[in-house]
Amino acid sequence: MAMQELIAPSLSFLYFMFIAAITPGPNNVMLTASGINFGYNKTIPHMLGIIIGFNVLIVCGALGVGSLYHAFPQIEWVLKILGSSYLIYLAYKISGAGRVGLKEQENKATKPMTFMEAALFQFVNPKGLVFAFTAASFLPKEFTLTESLIVLLVCSTISSVISTNIWTIFGKMIARLFRNDRARHVINIALALLLLATIPMMLL
């Protein structure tokens, strides 16, 4: 397909990907919390894990793995349960970050999410799974597999880079506004509750 025939549908798809990436969800809530508690630089591995992990997931979807996911509802429910359980654990960690009177050794135990943790989480994040496994269906049928993969990866990377940076910087800005430990603890509890609130949506 000629380059000019790729551009228009690709831009439309980029807009679609960006809206999906920027809207609140588990990844964005966790990035905000990480920006508050650890700052931008220490959250970079978390951001990269989301970007790379989701790109691998979206390639799997384009190659047809999504059909296996939908063909066996048991797999879907296992991933939902694993994802929900992990979110409960993360919500617990976030709620305790910045707690007044927290012992120094306990405070050190609260660390930013690693690259691998963030990448692997994409494979149990129902929101990401559903989107990654259906994204290719929104591209024109005239696209070859190679063209589809290029458009998917480029649009996914651009939208993910922008959204992860926005939510992390948003968290860092909150941290600058609220330097008091008690205020930060209240914000962390609110973020933990928001993270828990995504679980019913994931299960449904």
pTM of the model: 0.86
> What does the pLDDT read at residue 167?
97
**pLDDT averaged over every residue in the chain:** 84
Alpha helices in 97-180 (DSSP H): 104-109, 115-121, 126-134, 145-177
150-170 average pLDDT score: 95
Which residues have CB under 8 Å from 44's CB, separation 6+?
none
Long-range contacts of 10-13 (CB under 8 A, 24+ apart): 10/151, 10/154, 10/155, 13/138, 13/139, 13/151, 13/155
pLDDT winner (highest mean) among 14-18, 26-30, 96-100, 164-168 = 164-168
**147: pLDDT strictly greater than 80:** yes
Query: What count of other Cβ atoms lies within 10 Å of the Cβ of residue 107?
Result: 12
User: What are the pLDDT digits (tens) for 72-103?
Assistant: 777 778 888 888 888 898 898 888 775 544 45
Query: Averaged over 31-35, what is the pLDDT?
Result: 94
* Per-domain residue ranges of the chain: 42-96+106-203
pLDDT at 104: 47
d(CA 128, CA 119): 11
